[in-house]
Amino acid sequence: MKYLHTMIRVKDLEASMHFYCDLLGLIEVKRYDSEKGRFSLIYLAAPDDHETAKTSQSPTIELTYNWDTEDYSGGRNFGHLAFAVDNIYASCQKLMAAGVTISRPPRDGHMAFVRSPDLISIELLQRGDALAPAEPWLSMTNTGEW
């Protein structure tokens, strides 16, 4: 398993970039703007992690900026922790066997979400190419929120 990023939703992108980059000294390594989804993703790395993050995009903080105004309550501004796993199906099966709910099953062979006992959202991403879609994951529906 490899730690990838922590996602934080931000309300004021300019103020957030000032805080994280100008004041804390993090460096922007990637930016993705989605016109259709009306959001921007900005990946930031600490100076000591900058070179690694430029190629692997980890470890980073992902600032998610939704273009439409939204107030975040109940911790919704904190998004999730993300980890790359060697086999997303095996990882989800192990968690499920231990009683963990798979909130967003890996129907695509690439991505799943679970929650910690404290309800922190955890994103699991298949390392490398997505695995071929397979049951029981393909037929599983989402449960709760993530």
Question: pLDDT in tens for each of the 146 residues of the chain?
Answer: 899 999 988 888 999 999 999 988 899 999 999 999 999 999 999 999 999 999 998 999 999 999 997 777 666 677 788 889 999 999 999 999 999 999 999 999 999 999 887 687 889 999 999 999 999 999 999 998 88
> Do the beta carbons of residue 132 and residue 89 sit within 8 Å?
no
Beta-carbon contacts of residue 57 (< 8 Å; ≥ 6 apart): 4, 5, 29, 30, 43
In whole angstroms, give the CA distance from residue 11 to residue 40.
11
Q: Of these residues, 14, 28, 70, 123, which one is catalytic?
A: 123
Catalytic residue status for 145: no
pLDDT at 92: 95
Backbone angles phi, psi at 106, to 5 degrees: -80, 60
pLDDT at 75: 66
pLDDT at 121: 86
What structural domains does the chain harbor? 2-66 (3.10.180.10), 86-139 (no CATH)
Q: Which helix (H) or strand (E) holds 13?
A: helix 13-17
